[in-house]
Amino acid sequence: MKNLITILCLFTVLFSNDKGNVMNKDEPKVVGVGGIFFKSDNPEETKKWYQENLGLPIDKWGTMFKSRDIDNPDQVNYLQWSPFDKKTDYFDPS
């Protein structure tokens, strides 16, 4: 749960605009998020908890969330949610 709160706080910071104005077209910006990947002391227990308490449909890798593009509603986007073992080198170098 602590990891989820950290991720949500990060998204709030990334997508907030403290200037109170719209970004100009020349500024780089995040246009999508491919996944939420994080390290866990016990990824299998973490997946089990999310499945039992939040009803996420968990498979071997985690779960996929579907969303629609606001400007193109026919376009389906996917976001992968996956906990990894804390000893993984999958994120190296980071």
pLDDT band at 31 (very low <50, low <70, confident <90, very high): confident
Lowest mean pLDDT among 16-25, 37-46, 69-78: 16-25
Contacts 24+ apart (CB under 8 A), 45-52: 46/83, 47/83
Give residue 9's Cα distance to chain centre.
12
pTM of the full structure = 0.61
Q: Residues of 35-67 as b/e, b for ≥16 C-beta within 10 angstroms?
A: ebebebeebeebbeebeeeeebebeeebbeeee
User: Which tens digit of pLDDT belongs to each residue from 57-77?
Assistant: 999 889 999 988 888 899 999
